Amino acid sequence: MFIGHYGPAFAAKPLARPVPLWLFFVAVQWMDVCWSALVLAGVEKVRIVPGFTQGSALDLYFMPYTHSILGAGALSLVFGLTALFFARERRLLAVTVLAAASFSHWLLDYVVHVPDLPLLDPSVKVGLGLWRWVWISLPLELVTLLAGAIVYARGVPSRTRFGDTALWLFVAAMAAVEVYGAFGPAPESPAAEAHTALVAYGLLALLAGLVDWGRGTLRG
């Protein structure tokens, strides 16, 4: 998944309101942030295979550190601790919610990836493979994003007139990016994919922070 990962980011915000939305946006892509860094370092491996599945050209054949169930759990727990910098009360809840948002990445990847997610035995890999059918995976991504945004909009009401408009414009733009990604050209190389991913994650987190600020939700 790509844009669908942000549904849980939106939905988690009302459960831990002191934690900024931009941090949830980083949390749900934290495993892929680490994956991108390891791909650039030559540690984890990916092949670009146009037509590998209808929904993705990525053959993610070696990622035992970031996308194994143990690696995903460890990365999520570590990232969850960053909530301590923002929450002054109910800090355990904030850490738990942020860590759960981060781990949602693995769960959603399990739904769309072909079997490339290692379990306890690295040779045993799982994945339901819905990327094989873009007419299933694409609507699923968009519905997951929309559902999360609705939960966020209702759970953290905007305090400004422009706030809701900005939110839904942001969601619409994210959906457009997902549609382009589903039908656009394949990445030129693993390094190009990793660089693009890091830029995209950073930009979307920045925009999420601006939307959160524009809605006047940062006062808790």
Q: Which domain holds residue 159?
A: 3-214
In a domain, 220, yes or no: no
In this prediction, what percent of the chain has a pLDDT beyond 90?
93
Q: Angle CA(28)–CA(181)–CA(134) in degrees, nearest 5?
A: 90
In a domain, 219, yes or no: no
C-beta separation of 46 from 59 below 8 A? yes
pLDDT for position 216: 81
pLDDT for position 41: 98
- For residue 103, pLDDT over 50 is answered with yes
In a domain, 157, yes or no: yes
In a domain, 168, yes or no: yes
In a domain, 36, yes or no: yes
Buried b vs exposed e over 30-40: b needs ≥16 C-beta within 10 Å?
Answer: bbbbbbbebbe
In a domain, 75, yes or no: yes
Which pLDDT tens digit goes with each residue over 14-34?
999 999 999 999 999 999 999
CA–CA separation, 1 and 107 (whole Å): 10
- For residue 215, pLDDT over 80 is answered with yes
Cβ count within 10 A of residue 184: 9
Kindly report the pTM of this predicted structure: 0.96
Q: For residue 45, give the 3-state DSSP assignment.
A: strand
Which pLDDT tens digit goes with each residue over 136-147?
999 999 999 999
Per-residue pLDDT band at 72 (split at 50, 70, 90): very high
- For residue 218, pLDDT over 90 is answered with no
DSSP type of residue 2: -
Number of structural domains, the chain?
1
CA–CA separation, 38 and 158 (whole Å): 38
